Structure 1
């Protein structure tokens, strides 16, 4: 489709149905709309009302709801990953794939110039069928992860044993000697063999998306991951565009999204930089014994703390999982909350001085853009790679030490927090 030189673009956004993916897509939409571009945002039906406040340019950004079909194995009404364990994400991927006809109908009707996508690996094929739009695979995981796990992308392995052997070591030419996995031998094959949708693995889904798109875009910047981006560009031999962190600036946060009074008033009761804040994202659910070890570690620091975590396995509420006598011992200086909190706004509060997180890519950026000290407790493969980048390459964070089985103790957590001064 020809585009007049002085005109603006029309861009369709179709991210994976996860809050950690849709949020940066919406932030990017706001940035593009601020520059005058028109955005058509495809998202699950239920999330539309919830996100209206985050749409800073409703005159240019339009939400187009999709009906997410029910898939056996998912709780009824599931449309995003927020309320399901990671083990059920494969069923949600199947549901997303079944929206293909709806997506095609919308794209034909809307006629955008570009479609940005990530997990829907079939979008380039759809675009080729439609014939008038270009595809951009916009990935919101780190370039570090992509470089380690998804290249060399053009190799085809007929033998799974050979593929696993290739993935259990850094690929040839990998641009880092420090970003390595101590647990890599156990974890690397998982991205190859893990089913993510009906009849497709996570590895095949991601490599197909990147291989078949017209251009690749990554939520990062040259200063942080430039050498990884250059490596990816050389491997895939296509344009790679970097968007930066695309976080909401504090001055851009709408009034209805400002920090809740109850948390603002609680935080105001402490000295600047004295509160330790902990959050592990929307999906991570700890085992009960590790959950208890974690919060006992916060108690051990002697510092005020605010912990926002989901209820651990086997517990219906966080209150029901607390160790005996814990609430009485920390009353007045510690909060353990099981609901959603405004993470960016909490990190902006002057009383918060340390952020303990799982180093998901969104939290990693929010850590870097805050004035807090950073303590990392990674759990998943990409989080471990992000942690290597933060701790060993950038040297801006501390990782909580673990034993050979991956267990961290309250003492190791306390030591990591206190090491930040």
Structure 2
């Protein structure tokens, strides 16, 4: 792994400040360092505090990783202080200013690269960080783009954009066939291509920056997406490195439990509860870090879980567990399901749960990290996408890989301000029962 001059390579990783992007790049940093490379991981104080157990473990293990903290200029960009990750923003109205704050890290990053030793051999930067392209070119540093979502999503989005297939439809809810795929996949404009659909200027900058990259690093693996990886290579004419699932770097329970953030429950409590359950009987319900489920919908989920009769682990965020939800839970739900339920408020150690033999199903928002964490131990999924890459990920899980069933959601939910029900308890229960008939096959 030496350079031609005998020096160890020095990778500089610049992740997007969002849990779904940070988590796999932390794993990548540890993977590269364990193979002998020097790694500089660019982060901010709040994000560094979240991954402190990982930082401490890397230090104890003697891994050559430097966690470089840059102050995010929140105030200058109009973002509330301390909101240094997308999931910490109080509203989607702050997403655009947050991107602007991130772009202001250009000069600090350039200064670091100019002064750091050994000199950076390669930068691996998130697709969203278009501004790192200019820095890499100015300093003559090789740059690889990191794609956090599935190759299926990246390829589909690229094909949709270049074919301009949406120009033929007048309604955002009218389906079109995604061009250039081995399978017939239909999607609506509302469902895809996703995150940047509101900010075309950022999309254009990201795509232009992509063209200047040497190649791509993807958190997927050849056996899972071989056709899509081959088509992406053919389309981009660039090197594509599928190096995932990066989550598998975490081998022991402790590293699984601290992946992403400090768990709000001790892992031994979870393991003890799961050990008491029958093999492949438990259903995990968890919707990632950014989804905010409103009270009426939470109650529908709870009613479906109760009616299904299955043991379950239900992860509810602190911001979701309002007085209305707590009142409903305390008025009989918790007592009636106590013998077969574990309700976790806050951050849950998802890998610890999914890798346990008692778990036989997973109700997921279709974030790519969550999908990979379920695929690795062979846990089938009930898919409930919300936005961004999640609807195309659902297509991959349900229609291509056939390892999940859809709960039936059709319209993205970006602003769940209204307290309404998107999916009724009957549909949720039906999907749970259908998943149960699949038997949690491994």
- Per mean C-alpha deviation after superposition, the further-off stretch among 8-17 and 42-51 is 42-51
Which 5+ residue runs of structure 2 have no aligned equivalent? 259-265, 414-421, 438-442
1:3: which partner in 2? Answer: 3
Deviation at 1:222, TM superposition (A): 1.9
Q: 1:235 to 1:336 in 2, by over 3 A?
A: same
Deviation at 1:330, TM superposition (A): 1.7
1:31: which partner in 2? Answer: 31
Check conservation: 1:279, 1:358, Cα contact below 8 A. Answer: yes
Q: 1:322 to 1:232 in 2, by over 3 A?
A: same
**Superposed CA offset, 1:378-402 (max 9, x none):** 1114111111111111111121134
Q: 1:78 to 1:413 in 2, by over 3 A?
A: same
Q: Secondary structure at the match of 2:283?
A: strand
1:255-334 correspondence runs (5 A): 257=257, 260-311=267-318, 315=322, 319-320=326-327, 322=329, 324-334=331-341
The correspondence for 1:194, drawn from 195, 198, 221, is: 198
**Superposed CA offset, 1:109-157 (max 9, x none):** 22211110112101111111122x10000111111111111346678x9
Check conservation: 2:284, 2:363, Cα contact below 8 A. Answer: yes
Q: Secondary structure at the match of 1:187?
A: coil
The separation in 2 between residues aligned to 1:403 and 1:383, in whole angstroms, is: 11
1:78: which partner in 2? Answer: 83
Q: Does 1:408 align with 2:414?
A: no
Check conservation: 1:288, 1:312, Cα contact below 8 A. Answer: no
Deviation at 1:75, TM superposition (A): 2.9
Q: Does 1:142 align with 2:150?
A: yes
**Superposed CA offset, 1:321-363 (max 9, x none):** 6485322322232233321011101112232222211110000
Deviation at 1:104, TM superposition (A): 0.8
Q: Does 1:114 align with 2:122?
A: yes
The separation in 2 between residues aligned to 1:350 and 1:189, in whole angstroms, is: 35
Check conservation: 1:193, 1:202, Cα contact below 8 A. Answer: no
Q: 1:411 to 1:152 in 2, by over 3 A?
A: closer
1:180: which partner in 2? Answer: 186
Q: 1:401 to 1:191 in 2, by over 3 A?
A: closer
Q: 1:293 to 1:206 in 2, by over 3 A?
A: farther
**Superposed CA offset, 1:76-107 (max 9, x none):** 21111232256133222111111111111111
TM-score, structure 1 length as denominator?
0.87
Q: Does 1:236 align with 2:236?
A: yes
Deviation at 1:414, TM superposition (A): 1.6
Number of equivalent positions: 409
Q: 1:5 to 1:301 in 2, by over 3 A?
A: farther
Deviation at 1:239, TM superposition (A): 1.5
2:133: which partner in 1? Answer: 124
- Per mean C-alpha deviation after superposition, the further-off stretch among 138-147 and 268-277 is 268-277
Which 5+ residue runs of structure 1 have no aligned equivalent? none
Q: 1:311 to 1:10 in 2, by over 3 A?
A: same
Check conservation: 2:9, 2:37, Cα contact below 8 A. Answer: yes
- Per mean C-alpha deviation after superposition, the further-off stretch among 66-75 and 18-27 is 66-75
Q: 1:255 to 1:314 in 2, by over 3 A?
A: closer
The separation in 1 between residues aligned to 2:255 and 2:167, in whole angstroms, is: 55
Q: 1:252 to 1:210 in 2, by over 3 A?
A: farther
Q: Secondary structure at the match of 1:24?
A: helix
Q: Does 1:99 align with 2:99?
A: no
